[in-house]
Amino acid sequence: MAGHSKWKQIKHYKAATDAKRGALFTKLIREITMAAKLGGGDVNGNARLRTAVENARANSMPKENIERAIKKGTGELEGVDYHEITYEGYGPAGVALIIDTVTDNPTRTVAEVRHKMSRGGGNVGTPNSVAWMFDKKGQLAIDAAGRDEDAMMEAALEAGAEDFRADEQGFEIWTEPSQFEAVNKAVETKGVKPALAEVAWIPTITVPLSDPKAVADVNRLIDLLEEHDDVKEVHSNEEEVAA
């Protein structure tokens, strides 16, 4: 997990312009619908749905949109039948990529993901071609401003967190997926709302990049992929280092 940080992603979401908000809403609605489909419509008993709804509210999604997405997931309203599919591959400079998608048309999605990967200097691989370099973990990111580091660390570790790291930007907490909700709730009992809370692919092997062009090429490909409505999130093992 060394070198891996979600702060850039947090800033990316917060900086979403009005022009991009419609696309962001599409992704958030799909995640809510899928979470409700898989785990039911009760946010108190469905950790993934709870996180999805909180993310939607943080991005000012209207309450009625959230409720409609939940009902489509549970089947109370007619909706699109979404599927979760994960693709793996390599980008520029040998950086490994895991691409999580939520789609109603897998044939379309794989063709368009391949096209974007090719345009960006990457290629789609076979299953487990890069997944072995990642672990699936719960991750929380907390702004350090006004927070007591010792209190946050104690609450997280007592709830089952397996790692805690502090830097100048804030605190990052890692958990096993099964402990994610318990740790998230423990943090919230301290009156803290995480800037980001999710279960994600965390790299165990990173590719250090110091060449500005290589960094730009990788980030350009990730942006290109994340522009697609079907792409939920792109995870990489890129580690930017000083030249």
Number of domains making up the chain: 3
Domain that includes residue 63, residue range: 7-74
How many Cα atoms within 13 Å fall on the side-chain side of residue 190?
21
HEC secondary structure over 172-194: EEEECHHHHHHHHHHHHCCCCCC
Give the per-residue pLDDT at 16. 46
Kindly state whether residues 91 and 110 are assigned to the same domain.
Answer: yes
How large is the average pLDDT for residues 95-100? Answer: 96
Domain assignment present for 170 = yes
Kindly state whether residues 91 and 54 are assigned to the same domain.
Answer: no
Instruction: Provide the sign of the torsion angle of the four alpha carbons 93, 99, 29, 169, taken in this order.
Output: negative
Question: The pTM is what?
Answer: 0.83
97 with 122: CB under 8 angstroms?
A: yes
Report whether pLDDT(242) > 80.
no
Contacts of 150 (CB under 8 A, 6+ apart): none
How large is the average pLDDT for residues 40-56? Answer: 90
How many Cα atoms within 13 Å fall on the side-chain side of residue 158?
11
Look up the CATH number of the domain holding residue 90: 3.30.70.980
Report whether pLDDT(1) > 50.
no
Question: What is the distance between the alpha carbons of residues 158 and 91, in angstroms, rounded to a whole number?
Answer: 39
Give the per-residue pLDDT at 45. 86
Mean pLDDT of the chain: 88
pLDDT tens digits, residue range 20-36?
566 788 999 999 999 99
How large is the average pLDDT for residues 181-206? Answer: 88
Domain assignment present for 218 = yes
Give the per-residue pLDDT at 188. 86
Domain final residue, candidates 56, 74, 92: 74
Kindly state whether residues 158 and 146 are assigned to the same domain.
Answer: yes
Report whether pLDDT(12) > 50.
no
Report whether pLDDT(124) > 70.
yes
Give the per-residue pLDDT at 2. 41
Domain assignment present for 52 = yes
Kindly state whether residues 63 and 37 are assigned to the same domain.
Answer: yes
Domain assignment present for 107 = yes
Give the per-residue pLDDT at 21. 60
Report whether pLDDT(215) > 80.
yes
Kindly state whether residues 198 and 209 are assigned to the same domain.
Answer: no
Looking at residue 42, the DSSP 8-state letter turns out to be -
210 with 243: CB under 8 angstroms?
A: yes
Domain assignment present for 2 = no
Give the per-residue pLDDT at 183. 92
Per residue in 63-98, is it b (16+ CB within 10 Å) or e — as a string? Answer: eeebebbbbbbbeeeebeebeebebbbbbbbebbbb
Domain assignment present for 62 = yes
- Which helix (H) or strand (E) covers residue 89, if one does? strand 83-90
Report whether pLDDT(95) > 90.
yes
Kindly state whether residues 109 and 56 are assigned to the same domain.
Answer: no
Kindly state whether residues 91 and 186 are assigned to the same domain.
Answer: no
Kindly state whether residues 148 and 190 are assigned to the same domain.
Answer: yes
Give the per-residue pLDDT at 240. 83
Kindly state whether residues 101 and 215 are assigned to the same domain.
Answer: yes
pLDDT tens digits, residue range 147-193?
888 989 999 999 999 999 988 778 999 999 999 989 988 988 888 88
Kindly state whether residues 107 and 198 are assigned to the same domain.
Answer: no
Domain assignment present for 1 = no
Give the per-residue pLDDT at 32. 96
Looking at residue 132, the DSSP 8-state letter turns out to be G
Give the per-residue pLDDT at 5. 54
Kindly state whether residues 40 and 142 are assigned to the same domain.
Answer: no
φ/ψ (deg, to 5) at 202: -110, 125
Look up the CATH number of the domain holding residue 21: 1.10.10.200
